Amino acid sequence: MRRAVALFAACVLIAGTVRATSVPDSRGSWTRAAVPVELRSRVHMTVRDVPGFPEDDPKLMDLRNWPKKRRIEGWDCELNVVNACITGSPSTMTSSAYYLCRPRWWPWARPQMRGPHYTWTSDGRLLERGNAGLVYAMDRAGRLAMFEDRSHGSYEYYDTDGVLIGGEYKPVNLDWRSEGYRGGSVSVWLGDRVTHDEFIRRVRALNRDMASRY
């Protein structure tokens, strides 16, 4: 699941039919013991445990405040804005802003996306933002609904109270203490270990059933 998949899932939420359903409360069922000890540091039980957004500048909430050119990590960057239409009933227009950058010492290199990237709905509501491999998907009330940490291969979903519903954790970038770990990815839903396919099925069901949240 990459950014496009995460954004697609969020878009489905916007376009989906609103249904008056509730998600089971995960409190009391989730413990880090459901995840191998080598991966437990990646589990964020509540949104309060999630790392803060890098470069959390309130000015970035307004696209008009984004400079057309800036330097990020020593790279020369240019702003790109892409508009898209999410089909559904009704359809929704979105705008995404991000920077494409080239190193100053190699200006003809293929550009890479660096720094912040934001996506808004047509009414100016923040749908998703990311930076430095971290992606945060927000609901209609501005609460965190999904957190992705690409560098550590983790994806987590939260209820409206900010409590962890489900997460998937991949064994990437383990430190020296975890060199003996030979397990694969771990998927957990409401405290129970599930297969990857079952995890994806439940994420899709969550998106569909909680469309009103978005």
Judge whether 30 lies within some domain.
yes
Residues 22 and 1 in one domain: yes
97-110 CB burial, b ≥16 within 10 A, e <16 = bbbbbbeeeeeeee
Which has the minimum average pLDDT: 18-22, 91-95, 107-111, 200-204?
Answer: 18-22
Residues 48 and 79 in one domain: no
Judge whether 178 lies within some domain.
yes
Q: How many structural domains are present in the chain? A: 2
- From 87, 103, 131, the end of a domain falls on 131
Judge whether 61 lies within some domain.
no
84 bridge partner residues: 94
Q: Which residue range is the domain that position 97 belongs to?
A: 66-131
146 bridge partner residues: 137, 157
* pLDDT one-digit tens code per residue, 50-69: 999 999 999 999 999 999 99
pTM, two decimals, is 0.82
The sign one gets for the Cα dihedral 104, 106, 111, 115 is negative
Residues 86 and 157 in one domain: no
Judge whether 79 lies within some domain.
yes
Residues 212 and 145 in one domain: yes
**Whether pLDDT at 198 is above 70:** yes
pLDDT level of residue 209 (50, 70, 90 thresholds) = confident
